[in-house]
């Protein structure tokens, strides 16, 4: 099947999922691209549609951001993202594939069992979890599950929770992407067509996500998304891109 068609469909699905759950772009797109270009380069390429999709969500819901949490917890996440991006540059693609696979399996399992909705951190441990989620974001582009669990410790209203999580994800992107650009610029540019196709799909999914998914019950939606992420995680563990 044509790579562009698959990537467009995956981008639309990823953008739609992220518009509802606040994360999912990296979880869906990175394993797919990794099977074609390797995990290391896939993480850097996917950061482009991830940034654009997240920025688009942020523009719509930015008035609900809790600035106190953003500039404290968010700062720890951004610092973790920078560290993760630097580690990403020096690690082999296959190792990154295993790390991503483990994170996806963990997130999928937590979602299917319902443990993700019940897991939260106190404010002190949330700072550590924020830095850890940012580090994984910089390392393999996957941070949403840990970040969401950590943010539950701040007792934010639903609108503030989603908006603040989106703002933090955007902040992590701003810290990790310059590292990718500095040290993987030519490799990323060589994949500009894939980046463009994925970005178009993510934008379409982000814009139409709530309309597309509003008829699916929330529990069913979360089960489907978690199952997809779990399968992708096992696939990455069995076929880490070298």
Name every residue whose Cβ is closer than 8 Å to that of residue 92 and which is 6 or more positions away in sequence: 40, 242
pLDDT band at residue 101 under the 50/70/90 scheme = confident
Give the Cα separation of 171 and 29 in Å (integer).
20
pLDDT band at residue 111 under the 50/70/90 scheme = confident
Confidence at residue 214, expressed as pLDDT on a 0 to 100 scale? 65
DSSP labels for 97-132? HHHHHHHHHHHHHHHHHTHHHH----HHHHHHHHHH
pTM: 0.85
Confidence at residue 6, expressed as pLDDT on a 0 to 100 scale? 92
Buried b (16+ CB within 10 A) or exposed e, 160-188: bbbbbbbbbbbbbbebbbebbeebbeeeb
Q: What three-state secondary structure class fits 2?
A: coil
Per-residue pLDDT of 46-97, as tens digits, reads 999 999 999 998 998 889 899 988 888 888 999 999 999 999 988 887 888 8
What is the H or E stretch that residue 211 is in?
helix 192-213
Cβ(22)–Cβ(210) under 8 Å? no
Give the Cα separation of 11 and 194 in Å (integer).
11
């Amino acid at each position: 099947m044509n790579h562009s068609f698959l990537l467009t469909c995956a981008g639309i699905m990823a953008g739609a999922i992220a518009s509802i759950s606040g994360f999912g772009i990296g979880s869906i797109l990175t394993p797919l691209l990794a099977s074609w270009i390797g995990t290391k380069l896939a993480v850097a390429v996917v950061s482009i549609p991830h940034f654009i999709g997240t920025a688009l969500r942020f523009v719509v819901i930015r008035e609900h951001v809790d600035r106190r949490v953003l500039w404290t917890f968010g700062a720890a996440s951004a610092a973790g993202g920078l560290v993760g991006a630097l580690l990403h540059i020096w690690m082999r693609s296959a190792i990154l594939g295993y790390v991503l696979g483990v994170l996806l399996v963990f997130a999928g399992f937590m979602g299917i069992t319902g443990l993700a909705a019940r897991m939260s951190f106190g404010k002190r441990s949330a700072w550590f979890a924020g830095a850890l989620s940012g580090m994984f974001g910089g390392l393999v582009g996957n941070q949403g599950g840990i970040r969401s669990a950590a943010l539950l410790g701040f007792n934010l209203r639903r609108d503030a929770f989603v908006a603040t999580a989106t703002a933090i994800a955007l902040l992590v992107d701003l810290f990790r992407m310059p590292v990718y650009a500095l040290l993987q610029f030519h490799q990323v540019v060589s994949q500009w067509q894939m980046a463009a196709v994925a970005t178009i799909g993510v934008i379409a999914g982000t814009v139409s996500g709530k309309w597309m998914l509003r008829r699916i019950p929330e529990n069913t939606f979360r089960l489907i998304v978690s199952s997809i992420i779990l399968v992708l995680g096992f696939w990455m563990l069995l076929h880490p891109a070298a």
